[in-house]
Copies of this chain bind each other. A is one copy, B any other.
Amino acid sequence: MTTILLADDHRVVREGLRTLLAQEADLTVVGEAADGREVVALARTLRPDVVIMDIAMPELNGIEATRLIVAESPSIRIVALSMYADRRFVTQILRAGALGYVLKEAAFEELARAIRTVATGKPYLSPTVAGFVIEEFVRQVSTTASKSLEILTSRETEVLKLLAEGKRAKEIALELKIGVKTAEAHRQNLMNKLEMHSIAELTRFAIREGLTTA
């Protein structure tokens, strides 16, 4: 059973959501808040699994409220409920610690799915929002020109990945069960082949090539 705290400054919205959520056997609304301060206080006492958070709220907005709740109880998952698919809102509230972002124009079914997804610790974004995250990813990735991961051997690729993750030659040697000198040799060969002269450059190359993430 997933417990839910509703936060929205419009009473009708809260009542509507409460009614809809009552239809779902595995979801229970345990409280309601009409502003940012209230939701922070209630989250502390009620300790719900999930908070449905309106972004625009008096006293304290949803972003600040999210930040406070997550700082205090990281196990409480937040689903942002917003009217706008604006990238800035998405970025800000996700950075504040929300795991979900659902548009108010979405069907209730989607909100329910979002609640169940974030309850397990996984992120959920409304398709519109997810769509532009993907578009951005594709655009970003397709505009970066590059030549070759192909000129590297599989072992070199492996070493490059670990280097980019911040590992030292010693750690890499341990992880790959090879000598420290061998790991160093691989790094040296990487640098020669790629014509790079620092770990920072190798790291950026590895990220560009998708070997690891920033």
Contacts and interface: CB of A to CB of B under 8 A. Distances in A.
Interface string A146-190: 100100000000000001111110000000000000000000000
Contacts of A41: none
Copies in the complex: 2
Contacts of A83: none
A82 interface: no
A95 interface: yes
Contacts of A209: 88, 91-92
Q: Chain A interface: which size bin?
A: 35 or more
B210 A91 contact: yes
B144 A95 contact: yes
B96 A164 contact: no
Could you say which of A125, A136, A141, A164 has the most chain B C-beta atoms within 10 Å of its C-beta? A141
Contacts of A99: 138, 142
Contacts of A87: 210
A20 interface: no
> Chain A at the B interface: mostly helix, strand, loop or mixed?
helix
Interface stretch (A6-14, A105-113, A195-203): A195-203
A165 B97 contact: no
Contacts of A203: 199-200, 203-204
A209 B210 CA distance: 18
A134 interface: yes
A130 interface: yes
Contacts of A42: none
